[in-house]
């Protein structure tokens, strides 16, 4: 078959999780919690199923859940999203990203992506006939020089993809970054796809710079978020997309023919749960504690720790230890030391290798301890 995506293999998350299983390694590669979610949430989903909510949900999602999403967002970021016209419930963040891109990107459109980048952005753009314009960020701080970003703009620039807190680097966009972006896109019709699935995983008292805060940006933006990160349930594959009415209209044209609608009892259960729990309010502290603990442990290893301002990923550099490609280094950690990580070169279109590995710390304390006990031997 004439492949639509030649050169694209299986996503690094599946590859590394499978290897971890085969080698019985501690899996700090793919990002997911290894501790249970709140049993109350499971009860609420159960209740929805028992109460007979087992048929199709409305195509854009359950109204009560959309209303909660709009209220939460508008409350946090002083935006004005309307549940009826601006919120769509999706089968996870990745589906929302895929749908937003499919709804907008056409042959020849250029999309600016900051790399290292979550691995679905580039291939999806290419599959749609679009062209990726990469801005490569580099360790240790993965700073963005907006004057350089400006050089990537052309008459064909259709979209810019943001991700803050950033996977894999843990970088967060600052108010200054947002000002630069506003200046850069002012007077253009460049769209924004803002992947904010880690919005509540932000540390040291920092404020999440949601695109929703900025009227000039949000009027041209799709914002993608994830219940998996909010509720520690990545396997439920539940998320949502916020966008102004004209963009949501296009989004739903694709959504209805892709999944049509998503899991009904989950939507009821989550809506019920979010109604009486400001559950996400504790997330920054919960994960900051894990980050601090993991960093303290990792300080005993030979790795150099890179900064982590948000997300549940901690990157380390081993550039001072050896010159091995990061893919080889990650393989060695799995096969010889029993710890799975993600080689960050997988997140660069050109596979740029800065000798950096990503570890997920959304894990039980004992998992982190066991992993570092093994890594100390390196």
Nearer to ligand GLN, 259 or 277 (CB): 259
| Closest-CA residue to 127 (of 3, 247, 221, 10) | 3
Nearer to ligand GLN, 31 or 269 (CB): 31
| Closest-CA residue to 134 (of 109, 152, 159, 157) | 152
Minimum distance between the CB of residue 145 and ligand GLN, rounded to whole angstroms?
Answer: 25
Minimum distance between the CB of residue 315 and ligand GLN, rounded to whole angstroms?
Answer: 12
Q: How far apart are CA 347 and CA 309, in angstroms?
A: 19
User: Which residue of 79, 167, 261, 264 would you call a contact of ligand GLN, by CB under 6 A?
Assistant: 167
Q: Give backbone dihedrals phi and psi of 316, rounded to 5 degrees, phi first.
A: -130, 150
Q: Annotate each residue in 80-99 with x if it binds ligand GLN (CB under 6 A) or - if it does not, as one string.
A: --------------x-----
Q: How far apart are CA 65 and CA 71, in angstroms?
A: 10
- Centre a 10 Å sphere on the Cβ of residue 376 and count the other Cβ atoms it contains: 13
Minimum distance between the CB of residue 237 and ligand GLN, rounded to whole angstroms?
Answer: 9
User: Which ranges constitute the DSSP H helices of 51-174?
Assistant: 63-77, 83-86, 93-104, 121-127, 146-150
User: Which residue of 27, 30, 90, 172 would you call a contact of ligand GLN, by CB under 6 A?
Assistant: 30
Nearer to ligand GLN, 224 or 266 (CB): 224
User: Which residue of 15, 25, 27, 31 would you call a contact of ligand GLN, by CB under 6 A?
Assistant: 31
Q: Does residue 347 contact residue 118 with C-beta atoms inside 8 Å?
A: yes
124 touches ligand GLN by CB under 6 A = no
The three-state secondary structure class of 270 is helix
Nearer to ligand GLN, 68 or 117 (CB): 117
314 touches ligand GLN by CB under 6 A = no
Interacting residues toward ligand GLN by CB under 6 A: 13, 30-31, 94, 167
């Amino acid at each position: 078959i004439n492949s639509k995506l030649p050169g694209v293999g299986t996503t690094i998350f599946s590859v590394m999780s499978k290897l971890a299983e085969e080698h019985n390694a501690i899996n700090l590669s793919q990002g997911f919690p290894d501790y249970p979610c709140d049993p109350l949430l499971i009860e609420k989903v159960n209740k929805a199923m028992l109460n007979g909510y087992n048929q199709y949900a409305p195509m854009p999602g359950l109204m009560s859940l959309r209303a909660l999403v709009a209220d939460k967002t508008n409350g946090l970021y002083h935006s004005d999203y309307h549940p009826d016209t601006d919120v769509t419930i999706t089968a996870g963040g990745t589906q929302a990203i895929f749908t937003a891109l499919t709804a907008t990107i056409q042959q020849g459109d250029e999309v600016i992506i900051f790399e290292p980048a979550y691995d679905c952005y580039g291939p999806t753009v290419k599959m749609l006939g679009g062209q990726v314009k990469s801005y490569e960020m580099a360790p240790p701080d993965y700073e963005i020089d907006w004057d350089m970003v400006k050089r990537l703009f052309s008459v064909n620039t259709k979209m810019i993809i943001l991700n803050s807190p950033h996977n894999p680097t843990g970088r967060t966009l600052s108010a200054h970054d947002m000002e630069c972006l506003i200046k850069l896109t002012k007077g253009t019709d460049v769209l924004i796809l803002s992947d904010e699935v880690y919005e509540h995983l932000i540390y040291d008292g920092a404020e999440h710079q949601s695109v929703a805060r900025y009227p000039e940006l949000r009027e041209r933006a799709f914002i993608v978020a994830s219940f998996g990160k909010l509720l520690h349930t990545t396997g439920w594959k539940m998320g949502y997309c916020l966008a102004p009415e004209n963009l949501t209209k296009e989004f739903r044209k694709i959504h209805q023919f892709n999944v049509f609608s998503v899991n009904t009892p989950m939507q009821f259960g989550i809506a019920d749960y979010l109604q009486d729990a400001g559950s996400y309010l504790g997330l920054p502290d919960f994960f900051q504690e894990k980050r601090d603990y993991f960093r303290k442990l990792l300080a005993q290893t030979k790795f150099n720790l890179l900064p982590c301002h948000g997300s549940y990923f901690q990157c380390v550099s081993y550039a001072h230890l050896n010159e091995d490609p990061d893919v080889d280094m990650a393989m060695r950690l799995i096969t010889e030391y029993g710890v799975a990580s993600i080689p960050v070169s997988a997140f660069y279109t050109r596979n740029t290798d800065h000798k950096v590995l990503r570890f997920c710390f959304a894990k039980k304390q004992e998992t982190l301890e066991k992993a570092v006990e093994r890594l100390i031997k390196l």
